[in-house]
Amino acid sequence: MKKNRVFSSAAFAIVTLLFGLNSQANAAQCGNGPGGFETWKQQFAGEARAKGIGGAGIAALQQTNYASATINADRSLHSFKLSLDQFLAKRGAPAIVSRGRSMKQRNAALFASIQQRYGVPPGPLIAIWGMETGFGSQRGNQNMLSSIATLAYDCRRPEYFTDQLYAALKLIDRGTLSGSQRGSMHGEIGQTQFLPKTMLEYGVGNLESASGALTSTANFLKAHGWRAGAGYQPGEPNFAAIEEWNAAQVYQKAIALMGRQIDGGE
């Protein structure tokens, strides 16, 4: 009996291993060029259906195309390697600060409401707004879903963008987004450039409007530990929330510096 039990356990392990290998073989496989994208799309659609993505999301996925411009942009992220001074100059920090102070005065009631609810002062929100889209003027003209699907297929960061793709498909199923939504090179949308998963978790209102985008950004920062009244420069408590917004250190420091200048500091 003991021998039979050992054999049965071994047989079960082999069957489990073979099942796992078969599942992996049937999973959507990443690629490094456009050649396998259509096959990947069909495989991914099957996985998406199994995870509960509905007809609208699947139909939108089927209309996506391989986004070569997105891949080219993803391979050319050089500005985050600049020094802080170089980065500020390249991004036009003085102009952002100058216009940001004007935007703060012009939208005083909105920023007061946001600060009262979320504890986030205008400076860092305006710095993010100016840095991301030039205060809403440059939101990108790429097909959002094609960009994200391409990055989910690409072998460089498939896990990260697969999560973004599922979030986008859920938002399409809900009617919050459409398959024709335009965005930036990596699929960011709205006036402060939310990726779909971030939008799903922290979006408040219409991200294409200034009020919706700024409120959503404040909601994100609060959810990542922002404390009302605490400082947000490097080494101060709220800088950690800015770090969660963007992983590039030079970007984080630029937001903190410009935010302080907009809020009235030097």
Question: SS3 sequence, 181-208?
Answer: CEECCCCCECCCCECHHHHHHHCCCCCC
Query: What tens digit of pLDDT does each residue of 14-55 get?
Result: 444 444 444 444 578 999 999 999 999 999 999 999 999 999
What is the share, in percent, of the chain residues with pLDDT greater than 70? Answer: 88
Last residue of a domain, one of 157, 183, 209: 183
Query: Is residue 43 in some structural domain?
Result: yes
C-alpha 238, offset from chain centre: 20
**Comparing C-alpha atoms, which of 252, 245, 247, 254 is closest to residue 218?**
245
Residue 80 is predicted with a pLDDT of: 73
| Residue 62 reports pLDDT greater than 90 | yes
Instruction: Give the CATH number, domain containing residue 205.
Output: 1.10.530.10
Query: Is residue 5 in some structural domain?
Result: no
> At 189, phi and psi to the nearest 5?
-135, 160
| Residue 110 reports pLDDT greater than 80 | yes
Span 122-148, average pLDDT: 96
Query: Is residue 253 in some structural domain?
Result: yes
Q: 115 vs 20, which has greater pLDDT?
A: 115
Query: Is residue 8 in some structural domain?
Result: no
Span 155-160, average pLDDT: 94
Residue 13 is predicted with a pLDDT of: 44
Residue 76 confidence class, pLDDT cut points 50, 70, 90: confident
